[in-house]
């Protein structure tokens, strides 16, 4: 038997990310006359993008001390915002996106926990910031500088805050090494991207799928088409796909659920690669969608924020030979650079066909939660795998892996769900609801609406009452997608045989009202 070896720690100081940033640097220079972004119908060239990067990095040097490695960026939909992300990377720093649409209190808590002292903003909407704002929309011209000096793999690339079960969002730092591993894995998927491609970017910058959606196109000189915040998202996306001839699109499945009534009218022959991530992908809707995109290769990809964007892939077969469980398409095999296993409660790797928790390993995994060693210890553990002691991340997803190595998604082990593609801890919603209601039980549930998408319902224990003040309070504490759209008062919550609140019975009250 081979001697057991220990994998290298995540912060090894290597420089494998050099290739990623050298490629980005070369693309910015080589494609200067090409289109880099289409934002609200307006095209911008790579030369314009490079000029904005140069101006913003000069401002960073002048206004933000070099020891501040993590800098806030107000997540607007404009060229200056994307240029700010790249300028921070060029300066060896990392970004934390802050969306003006989030509650002021939530942004304040995130800013404080991350230790953010400065935030770059491309407009005058800075009143919600609790740190110093640096405007980037009217800067003086400077000499072009789109070079990316060498940095270490353990240097940060970005930090995103996701929903947390205690009511406090949890910070997920992603390093340059993590990002470089993802790009290597993406390249191995066989999705060729060239300067002629037109790529969809439908995500808020606070959602990690945005990183792939803008970075992959920019690495290859392609054009990124964004979705304005004031537009109906699924309708605008349909127009981009048909009228602009989008060739590469990463979307959440809820988009095609909303578009499903219009499938007979939608034809997108230009789409070559149609990727889905963020939610369980129903096989029946995917099959119908495939007829709208006759020339597209459809991939179901999967991965949590903690494992850098996505790390598994399954190619949909339009001929019908698809793996699925309960109508949900398989999430497939691990991408190059990642590994997947299913474990039992004792963290023992289970054989093919057995159900357990899906755990992820490899170079895409976060070093750990931001300033939260206790939560990190709960989520990340060491385990022997393939002759090595490796770090693995517990996803909380119930899965099985078949004999061919394809993972099949069976649901959540806890009450964490996907709403509009965002990962949501239902317990966070309950936490804030109980804080307002005082000594009143409340249970948050994910229920399916008529369009086939999840939305949040809230059951409140007690006599009928006024819900408007509660909803207004929740809007001040939570992003819009986490605010319940349905409420119901229940005199007494039903209990299961273990004496616990029967969530399934409560859910039935919403899905099958008396």
DSSP 243: I
Per-residue pLDDT tens listing for the chain (514 residues): 233 333 333 433 333 456 899 999 999 999 999 999 999 999 999 999 999 999 999 999 999 999 999 999 999 999 999 999 999 999 999 999 999 988 999 999 999 999 999 999 999 999 999 999 999 999 999 999 999 988 899 999 999 998 776 667 899 999 999 999 999 999 999 999 999 999 999 999 999 999 999 999 999 999 999 999 988 888 999 999 999 999 999 999 889 988 998 999 999 999 999 999 988 898 989 999 999 999 999 999 999 999 999 999 999 999 989 999 888 899 999 999 999 999 999 999 999 999 999 999 999 999 999 999 999 999 999 999 888 899 999 999 989 999 999 999 988 887 667 888 887 878 789 889 988 998 788 889 988 888 888 889 999 988 999 999 999 999 999 999 999 999 999 988 887 544 457 888 998 898 776 5
Q: What is the pLDDT of residue 39?
A: 98
Q: What is the length of the chain?
A: 514
Distance (Å) of CA 11 to CA 175, 235, 329, 359: 9, 43, 35, 20
Q: Which two tokens stand for residue 217?
A: 């196109």
Q: What is the pLDDT of residue 267?
A: 96
Alpha-carbon distance 405 to 391, whole Å? 20
Q: What is the pLDDT of residue 175?
A: 97
Q: For the sheet containing 297-302, what is the strand order?
A: 42-45, 35-39, 223-226, 198-201, 248-251, 273-276, 297-302, 312-315, 333-334
Region 20-34+43-151: CATH code: 3.40.50.980
Q: What is the pLDDT of residue 258?
A: 85
Residue-range domain boundaries for the chain: 20-34+43-151, 416-511
Backbone dihedral region of 3: left (phi > 0), alpha (psi from -120 to 50 degrees) or beta? beta
Q: Tell me, which fold does domain 416-511 have in CATH?
A: GMP Synthetase; Chain A, domain 3 (3.30.300)
Q: Are 72 and 131 in contact (CB under 8 A)?
A: yes
Q: Are 421 and 278 in contact (CB under 8 A)?
A: yes
Distance (Å) of CA 334 to CA 52, 229, 293: 37, 33, 25
Q: Where are the alpha helices (H) located in 75-148, listed in sequence order?
A: 79-90, 104-114
């Amino acid at each position: 038997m081979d001697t057991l070896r220990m994998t290298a720690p995540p912060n090894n100081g290597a420089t494998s990310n050099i290739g990623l940033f050298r490629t980005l640097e070369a693309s910015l220079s080589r494609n200067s006359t090409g289109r880099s972004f289409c934002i609200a119908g307006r095209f911008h060239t790579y030369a314009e993008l490079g000029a904005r990067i140069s101006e913003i990095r000069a401002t960073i040097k002048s206004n933000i001390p070099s020891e501040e490695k993590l800098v806030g960026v107000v997540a607007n939909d404009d060229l200056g915002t994307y240029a700010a992300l790249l300028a921070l990377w060029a300066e060896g720093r990392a970004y934390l996106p802050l969306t003006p649409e989030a509650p002021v209190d939530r942004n304040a808590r995130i800013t404080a926990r991350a230790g953010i002292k400065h935030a770059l903003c491309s407009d005058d909407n800075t009143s919600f910031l609790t740190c110093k704002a640096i405007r980037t929309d009217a800067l003086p011209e400077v000499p072009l500088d789109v070079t990316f000096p060498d940095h270490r793999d353990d240097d940060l690339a970005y930090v995103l805050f996701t929903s947390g079960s205690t009511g406090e969002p949890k910070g997920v730092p992603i390093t340059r090494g993590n990002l470089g591993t993802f790009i290597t894995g993406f390249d191995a998927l066989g999705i060729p991207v060239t300067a002629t491609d037109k790529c969809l970017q439908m995500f808020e910058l606070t959602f990690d799928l945005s990183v792939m959606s803008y970075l992959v196109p920019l690495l290859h000189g392609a054009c990124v088409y964004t979705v304005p915040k004031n537009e109906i998202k699924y309708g605008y996306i349909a127009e981009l796909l048909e009228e602009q001839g989008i060739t590469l699109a990463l979307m959440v499945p809820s988009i095609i659920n909303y578009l499903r009534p219009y499938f007979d009218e939608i034809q997108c022959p230009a789409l070559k690669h149609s990727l889905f991530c963020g939610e369980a992908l129903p096989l029946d809707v995917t099959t119908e969608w495939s007829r709208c995109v006759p020339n597209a290769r459809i991939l179901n990809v999967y991965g949590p924020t903690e494992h850098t964007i996505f790390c598994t892939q399954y190619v949909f077969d339009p001929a019908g030979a698809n793996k699925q469980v309960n109508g949900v398409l398989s999430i497939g095999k691990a991408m190059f650079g990642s590994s997947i296993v299913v474990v039992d409660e004792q963290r023992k790797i289970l054989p093919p066909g057995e159900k357990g928790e899906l755990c992820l390993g490899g170079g895409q995994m976060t070093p750990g939660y931001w300033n939260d060693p206790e939560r990190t210890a709960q989520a990340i553990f060491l385990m022997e795998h393939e002759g090595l002691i490796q770090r693995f991340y517990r996803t909380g997803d119930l899965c099985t892996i078949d004999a061919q190595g394809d993972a099949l998604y069976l649901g959540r082990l806890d009450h964490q769900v996907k709403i509009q593609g965002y990962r949501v801890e239902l317990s966070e919603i309950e936490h804030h609801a109980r804080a307002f209601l005082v000594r009143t039980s409340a249970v948050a549930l994910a229920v399916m609406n008529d369009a086939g998408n999840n939305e949040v319902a809230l059951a409140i224990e007690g006599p009928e009452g006024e819900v408007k003040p509660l909803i207004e309070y929740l809007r001040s504490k939570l992003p819009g997608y986490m605010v319940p759209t349905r409420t119901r008062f229940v005199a007494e919550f039903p209990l299961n045989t273990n004496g616990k609140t029967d969530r399934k019975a409560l859910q039935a009250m919403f899905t099958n009202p008396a």
